[in-house]
């Protein structure tokens, strides 16, 4: 296998769009979208739980909604823990 500069440049230019950021999602907009998705997941779970209590939803949809809600909460807690951990690491840096 012969790797030349031209082949490397062509491979890089072919793979470059795959790693480019999504133009529709930037900075604060990305965080806002994630927060809205989290809120929507929580609201769907609550609505399904309420519907299940009144008999309007089947048990399968309740279990599915609860699983999605649990996954969203676990993800949010994990992200929060990583942010706190990074903040504490920054505080430990010598000035």
Specify the range with the lowest mean pLDDT, choosing from 7-16, 42-51, 84-93: 7-16
Say if residues 69 and 41 touch (Cβ distance below 8 Å).
yes
In a domain, 71, yes or no: yes
What is the per-residue DSSP string for 46-92? HHHHHHHHTT-S-HHHHHHHHHHHHHHHHHHHHHHHHHHHHHHHHHH
In a domain, 45, yes or no: yes
In a domain, 60, yes or no: yes
Q: What is the pLDDT of residues 36-75, one digit of tens each?
A: 999 999 999 999 999 999 988 888 888 898 899 999 999 9
In a domain, 11, yes or no: no
Q: How many domains does the chain have?
A: 1
Domain that holds residue 75: 22-92
Using the predicted structure, report yes or no on whether residue 83 has a pLDDT greater than 90.
Answer: yes
In a domain, 85, yes or no: yes
The pTM assigned to this predicted structure is 0.62
Using the predicted structure, report yes or no on whether residue 84 has a pLDDT greater than 80.
Answer: yes
In a domain, 1, yes or no: no
In a domain, 14, yes or no: no
In a domain, 10, yes or no: no
């Amino acid at each position: 296998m012969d790797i030349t500069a031209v082949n490397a440049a062509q491979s890089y230019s072919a793979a470059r769009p795959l790693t480019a950021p999504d133009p529709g999602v930037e900075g604060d907009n990305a965080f806002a979208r994630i927060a809205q998705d989290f809120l929507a997941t929580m609201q769907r779970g609550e609505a399904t739980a309420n519907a299940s209590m009144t008999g309007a939803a089947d048990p399968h949809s309740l279990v599915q909604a609860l699983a999605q809600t649990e996954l969203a909460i676990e993800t949010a807690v994990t992200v929060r823990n990583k942010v706190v951990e990074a903040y504490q690491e920054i505080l430990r840096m010598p000035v």
